[in-house]
Amino acid sequence: MSRIIEFTRMIRCVNCSMAGLAVISTIFVAENYTTGNYINIIIGFLTGFLASSAAMLINDVVDLEVDKINKPWKPLPRGIFKPKSIMNISLAFLITGVVINVFTSLTSLITSLIYSIIAYIYSFLRRNLYSQFLVSLAVTGPFIYGLTLAKTEKTVFIILFSIVVFLVNTSREFIKSIADMSGDLKYNYKTVVTVYGIENSAKVAFLLSLVGVIVAIVIGLTKLAGLVYTVILGVCGVLYILLILKVILNPEKAQTVKNVMIYIMLVALIGFLLSNIS
């Protein structure tokens, strides 16, 4: 039982569930909550969850030595699992998450393949500064992939929301890199923090989140989404920005802040799901 619990921690169940829920939310929003294609809903959730899980697992394998410094409490640094076993499981998750889309459409199959590969190869490109943007690109995947599973007239709204997701998640990546700075420096991983410093990274994270929040609210004000969406995204945006200001004032709070951010993003996802409600 303890190994099962440790494994669920490795795949970051909250993060992976959010990926699956983002796909489902996109389908419901796109089809104005009238979807009857439950096969696409099930496959969509599984694809998002499995692809994210695969990316999380391979990241722990590739970053094992760095995690021994940054996050020694994680299962692999503690020797609970063998890296090769986790790598095999991650590949199985990746392949399964893509292959099940043969029951949807060719477009969905190709889209799931592209975004799954982006999420997966990030870990092998971690030494490059641009890899942080690959993470955010992968996080937009559930929304774009979800579009391919739905019949909709809300393409513009969903694409604009994906841009918001990209900006806000990139700001979180920069905050996360502050928390991981020690190990990244030792193993010469280029992140915005190791290249440009803590202060600059926090400021850019603030700017990105501010732009993302403004775009999210403008989406609501222009009637592309309803009032419920606008209120929820507005509140989440303010809280998100305040958290980054907390890091600017005290960089040691980065680890705690990046963990709280994921829950604010979950609430924002609920706001997205309710975006058709006036």
In the chain, ranges of CATH 1.20.120 domains: 154-278
User: What is the pLDDT, as a whole number, of residue 129?
Assistant: 85
For 154-278, the fitting CATH number among 3.40.50, 1.10.1760, 1.10.1740, 1.20.120 is: 1.20.120
Q: Tens digit of pLDDT for each residue in 123-178?
A: 898 888 888 899 999 999 999 999 999 988 899 999 999 999 999 999 999 999 99
What are the structure tokens assigned to 34, written together?
A: 């009238």
Please count the CA atoms within 13 angstroms of the CA of 238 that sit on its side-chain side: 5
Provide mean pLDDT across the span 220-247.
96
DSSP 77: T
DSSP H or E run through 83: helix 83-99
Q: Do residues 82 and 17 make contact, with C-beta atoms less than 8 angstroms apart? A: no
CB count in 10 Å sphere of residue 130? 8
In the chain, ranges of CATH 1.10.357.140 domains: 1-151
Quickly name the fold that domain 1-151 has.
Tetracycline Repressor; domain 2 (1.10.357)
Rg of the chain on CA atoms, in Å: 18
Q: Tens digit of pLDDT for each residue in 78-115?
A: 999 999 999 999 999 999 999 999 999 999 999 999 99
Overall pTM surpassing 0.75 (yes/no): yes
